[in-house]
Amino acid sequence: MTTHFERLTKSMSVLSLNARAVGQKYYELSCYPEVVKEHIWVNQMVARATVPLMQQVLVKMEEFPKDELYHILTSYMKKHIAEETDHDEWYVNDLKLLGISREEIFSRVPPPSVAALTGSQYYWINHHHPVSFMGYLGCLEVYHPTVEYVEGLITNSGLPREAFSTVMEHAVIDAQHKEDIIRTINSLPLTEELYKSIELSAFQTFRYVAKVMEDVCRAAP
Amino acid sequence: MTKEQSHSDHLHAEGIINKDELTEEHLKAIDSLSKEEVEQIKKINKTIQKTSPGVGIML
């Protein structure tokens, strides 16, 4: 029997194409330090929304205490909130090593692509069903960087290794997060309608990730 | 007058997707892409390294 995640993977192989291609273009441009700095900065912008989004899932799930998904989803979110807490601050520390102050980080207006990527999830959570958010997590936790890839960014950009501590940490810990999200998605008792909402949320995530990374690539001279 | 092909028809004809394996929602999602995004998919499908790790944004 095909699992939810196997089904999602099949869909995502097509839907992830643009995002993966822009990711490849970014890697080719990583010889420009300003592009890599921008990449770390936008990851901070996205990371600052991660825990609040998961907290919003918990808030909304309280409206459905008898929902079959309640225990699986809330248990996963509580565990994952603990795992993701302070990652945005880790990026702040890395950016400081690149000469970008906390004040600069938080006073900059984020690109609309970042607001679209994270903000669209508030719609899925608040106005459809919080389980849709698993599509967002499925994309970003599963398609994570590898240690070899991060080593390439360090070499290509010539930026100090210490500034990549959060990116490198994700290359390591996301392998475990990937297994957790796959197991959780597969264990969800989903109706066809709810499965489709996860799939569309994943689709939208890939689409907006491509736009965020296109913006990052524009930092190239 | 010939009816204009949808994005999913176009990508199917190029061998990039198999419409028979995709759901109606899936096809609608592909059809909602911009023309530029579809062109990008066509272009990169030929060149992308299938092992390309990550998409750049990480949690």
Q: How would residue B51 be classed by pLDDT, with cut points 50, 70 and 90?
A: very low
What is the distance in angstroms between the CA of the first residue and the CA of the last residue of chain A? 50
Asked if residue B55 belongs to a domain, the reply is no
Left (φ > 0), alpha (ψ -120 to 50) or beta: where does A86 sit?
A: left
Asked if residue B33 belongs to a domain, the reply is yes
Chain B residues closer than 8 Å to A148 by CB: 53
Asked if residue B38 belongs to a domain, the reply is yes
The yes-or-no verdict on residue B45 having pLDDT over 80 is no
- What is the separation of C-alpha A17 from the centre of its chain, rounded to a whole number of angstroms? 16
Q: What is the pLDDT of residue B46?
A: 64
Q: How would residue B30 be classed by pLDDT, with cut points 50, 70 and 90?
A: confident
Chain B residues closer than 8 Å to A202 by CB: none
Q: Is some CB atom of chain A closer than 8 A to the CB atom of B27?
A: no
Asked if residue B2 belongs to a domain, the reply is no
- Chain A residue with the nearest C-alpha to that of B18: A14
Asked if residue B31 belongs to a domain, the reply is yes
- Chain B residue with the nearest C-alpha to that of A50: B59
Chain A residues closer than 8 Å to B45 by CB: 17
Q: Is some CB atom of chain A closer than 8 A to the CB atom of B30?
A: yes
User: How would you class B20 by CB atoms within 10 Å of its CB: exposed for 0-12, middle for 13-18, buried for 19 or more?
Assistant: exposed
Residue whose entry in the numeric block shows the structure tokens 């903000």: A119
pLDDT digits (tens, 9 = 90+) for B6-29: 988 888 888 777 787 777 777 888
Q: Is some CB atom of chain B closer than 8 A to the CB atom of A15?
A: yes
Mean pLDDT by 10 residues, chain A (221 residues): 89 80 91 98 97 98 92 96 94 97 98 98 97 95 88 96 94 85 95 94 94 96 94
Q: How far apart, in Å, are the Cα atoms of A199 and each of A84, A134, A179, B35, B56?
A: 23, 9, 18, 22, 20
Q: What is the pLDDT of residue A32?
A: 98
Q: What is the pLDDT of residue B50?
A: 45
Question: Which among A156, A163, A48, A60 has a CA at the least distance from the CA of A108?
Answer: A48
The yes-or-no verdict on residue B1 having pLDDT over 60 is no
Interface pTM, i.e. ipTM: 0.75
Q: CA dihedral defined by A14, A16, A21, A26, rounded to 10 degrees?
A: 180
Domain boundaries, chain A: 4-217
Q: Is some CB atom of chain B closer than 8 A to the CB atom of A139?
A: yes
| CATH match of A4-217 with 1.20.910.10 | yes
Q: What is the pLDDT of residue A24?
A: 87
Dihedral sign for Cα A76, A53, A131, B7, please: negative
User: How would you class A52 by CB atoms within 10 Å of its CB: exposed for 0-12, middle for 13-18, buried for 19 or more?
Assistant: exposed
* Phi and psi, residue A52, nearest 5°: -60, -35
**Domain tally, chain B:** 1
Asked if residue B24 belongs to a domain, the reply is yes
Q: Is some CB atom of chain A closer than 8 A to the CB atom of B16?
A: yes
Q: What is the pLDDT of residue B3?
A: 65
